[in-house]
Amino acid sequence: MSELRLLSVHAHPDDEASKGSATIAKYVAQGVEVMIATCTGGERGDVLNPKINTPENLANLTEIRRKEMQASIAVLGTKHTWLGFQDSGWPEGEPKPPLPKGCFADISREEAAKPLIKLIREFRPQVIITYDEKGGYPHPDHIRCHEITLFAFENAGRVYKFVDLGKPWQPYKLYYQKSFNQNQRKAIAEAFKELGKENPYEEWFDENEPDETYKITTQIECAEYFDIRDKALLAHATQVDPEGVWFALPTEITKRIWPTEDYELAITRVPAQTPETDLFQGIR
């Protein structure tokens, strides 16, 4: 094993490409051993790329998304594991319907955390990345992903807990993704204004959402890896339209206006001085 190990925990295939993938590529280039854990297979998702939204692709979505995930991992150069849960789907309607029985967000937090605890004890990461309590956006699988990662971080090192899941290992640091924070959104909006184009990201966000920029503790300079991020995104052809919103702002402009990926240091077991420019600060 590499001396430094990083585990990034995500809800669905394609999340690893859209959230923090340039950071991942940077650490892989430095020789850090990186594992990506995907909680579900995205079985209840949709084909979001209109160019390939066919009945055949929708019928074979589970198999297709597994192949897309394999291609994305090859681009990023990491290890990968499926935690083996079923996608909960996006509940629509008011009131929202009950979750499908046995899906990821339906089973108990403790039960859902067991495969992740086992993985942590086997892989022994010093650093773990996942989503905050809002899930990045309020999909039930994203919120459950946060819940089980927090639970696993707190319990993987306990000697008398989950003794059948391997030898205890306590990770040192837990980070939350802070993609599209308010300052970043302002920079993007200004860039679209300079280009004379409409900002397609405006509809993604609630203007009344409280500003949580103050929570950002850690910014990773990784603009030189944005091209790898783009390739990882494009590997998920059913989810990402090459001419769609993900690429509405040219990558060269993105590199200039916001060259970092941003995180919140949620828990640390080592002395940490923020702001940070390295997820392994205090560990190296």
Residue 167 domain flag = yes
Residue 95 in any domain: the answer is yes
At residue 2, the pLDDT reads 66
| Residue 116, pLDDT score | 98
| DSSP-derived pairing of the beta strands 260-268 and 127-130 | unpaired
Q: Report pLDDT digits (tens) over 122-173.
A: 999 999 999 999 998 889 999 999 999 999 999 999 999 999 999 999 999 9
Q: What is the CATH number of the domain that holds 238?
A: 3.40.50.10320
What values do phi and psi take at 184, rounded to 5? -65, -40
Residues of the chain with pLDDT under 70: 1-2
Q: Tokens at residue 188, please?
A: 């993007």
Rounded to whole angstroms, the Cα distance separating 207 from 31 reads 40
- The structural domain count of the chain equals 1
Asked if residue 283 is part of any domain, the answer here is: no
| pLDDT given at position 203 | 82
Asked if residue 243 belongs to a domain, the reply is yes
- What confidence score (pLDDT) does residue 278 get? 98
Q: Would 274 be classed as within a structural domain?
A: no
Domain membership of residue 209 (yes or no) is no
Exposed (0-12), middle (13-18) or buried (19+): which is 43, by Cβ within 10 Å? middle
* pLDDT value at residue 56: 96
Residue 158 included in any domain: yes
Query: In terms of Cα–Cα distance, which of 274, 278, 150 is closest to 216?
Result: 274
| DSSP code, position 50 | G
Domain range for 46 = 5-182+214-268
Within-domain flag for 188: no
